[in-house]
Amino acid sequence: MGGNVVVNMKYEAQQSDNFRKPRPESTIEERSDFIRKKYEKQQFFNSNVPHSLPSPSSGSSRLMNVCNPNFDAFLDKKNFDKQHTSSRIHGIGHAFRNSWRRKESDYKSSKKTNSSNKQAALPGMVEFIGLIKINVVRGTNLAIRDVMTSDPYVILTLGNQTMKTKVIRSSLNPVWNESLMLSIPEPIPPLKVQVYDKDTFTTDDFMGDAEIDIQPLLTAAKAYENSTVTEHVQLGKWLATKDNTLVGDSVINMVDGKVKQEIALRLQNVERGVLLIELECVPLSQ
């Protein structure tokens, strides 16, 4: 919407002189009350302040929390529930290929290009703002790429980082339960997920892909990084609809002080297949 300064010029234009904004040490109740007054009730809003921003009633607008100076963005749960996942968790968006036999060589070529670009860049150019733990839990009803079954594995890509799970032999319902850790670069790219069938004598066969926007998870983690809450708390939810790739509603929770999200995705650009992934975000400040 143009940055925190531009947003606050409109949404905090009519605060009284004796009003005190919440600080990092303020309670969650104080923060929540201020956020709702600012964005939902718009008590401090002044529509006469000139701007070039979209309407404040836009359902896709991302709410910004000025209570935390280190990360000025926290999603209001009411608007968060209304957002369509299609703008956040979705397929890669290229046209559906007529043949499913897209080879891993495509991925290797892309990886080589990324590696060359990375080597050409000066050291220290990438800034990391957190860590994300990805637990690849299982796949369900994956596509057949051998005679009767497949040997699937998952490739995870975040920026220039790539990691791969182990291969599960002869299974269309593989269980990995394998946790991988990646650094979150700035600006934040989507987490790309690709599934391949491992072949011994030929190149590996494509079995679907998806993208996950990890920004909301990081936003929630930073908003609650200094929280002392220990009980189970729901921070937000993405609703599964016919317009997105979610199999069921995806919820961001705080569990034992950790911000986690479970996502069941329909794989894209393939005839079938579902992948269950659990995410946990850790800001570098922690």
- Yes or no: say if 127 and 186 are a contact pair by the CB < 8 Å rule: yes
Q: Which of 106-120, 127-141, 201-215, 251-265 has the lowest mean pLDDT?
A: 106-120
Which pLDDT band, with edges at 50, 70 and 90, does 52 fall under? very low
Nearest to 151, CA basis, from 161, 142, 138 = 142
Per-residue model confidence (pLDDT) at position 79: 45
Domain with residues 128-282, CATH architecture: Sandwich (2.60)
- The residue that leads in pLDDT, 105 or 214, is 214
Which pLDDT band, with edges at 50, 70 and 90, does 223 fall under? confident
Asked whether residue 117 carries a pLDDT value surpassing 90, the answer given is no
Q: Average pLDDT of 58-82?
A: 41
Which pLDDT band, with edges at 50, 70 and 90, does 60 fall under? very low
- Please work out, in degrees rounded to the nearest 5, the angle formed at the alpha carbon of residue 73 by the alpha carbons of 70 and 74: 120
When mean pLDDT is compared over 16-25, 69-78, 229-238, 275-284, the highest value belongs to 275-284
Record the tokens describing residue 49, joined without a space.
């302040």
Encode pLDDT of 172-211 as tens digits: 999 999 999 999 998 899 999 999 999 988 999 999 999 9
The pLDDT > 90 percentage for the chain reads: 36
Cα–Cα distance measured from residue 151 to residue 196, given in angstroms and rounded to the nearest whole number = 8
Domain map (residue ranges) of the chain: 3-40, 128-282
Residue 228: partners with Cβ closer than 8 Å, 6 or more residues away: none
Provide the H-helix boundaries in 170-214: none
Which pLDDT band, with edges at 50, 70 and 90, does 243 fall under? confident
**What is the separation of C-alpha 75 from the centre of its chain, rounded to a whole number of angstroms?**
13
Cα–Cα distance measured from residue 13 to residue 159, given in angstroms and rounded to the nearest whole number = 38
Cα–Cα distance measured from residue 197 to residue 158, given in angstroms and rounded to the nearest whole number = 21
Per-residue model confidence (pLDDT) at position 86: 41
Per-residue model confidence (pLDDT) at position 38: 86
Task: Give pTM, 2 decimals.
Answer: 0.58
Cα–Cα distance measured from residue 188 to residue 171, given in angstroms and rounded to the nearest whole number = 34
Residue 125: partners with Cβ closer than 8 Å, 6 or more residues away: none
Q: Average pLDDT of 11-39?
A: 81
Q: Which residues partner with 139 through β-bridges?
A: 275
Residue 16: partners with Cβ closer than 8 Å, 6 or more residues away: none
- The residue that leads in pLDDT, 274 or 76, is 274
Asked whether residue 29 carries a pLDDT value surpassing 60, the answer given is yes
- The residue that leads in pLDDT, 285 or 31, is 31
Cα–Cα distance measured from residue 19 to residue 21, given in angstroms and rounded to the nearest whole number = 7
Per-residue model confidence (pLDDT) at position 244: 79
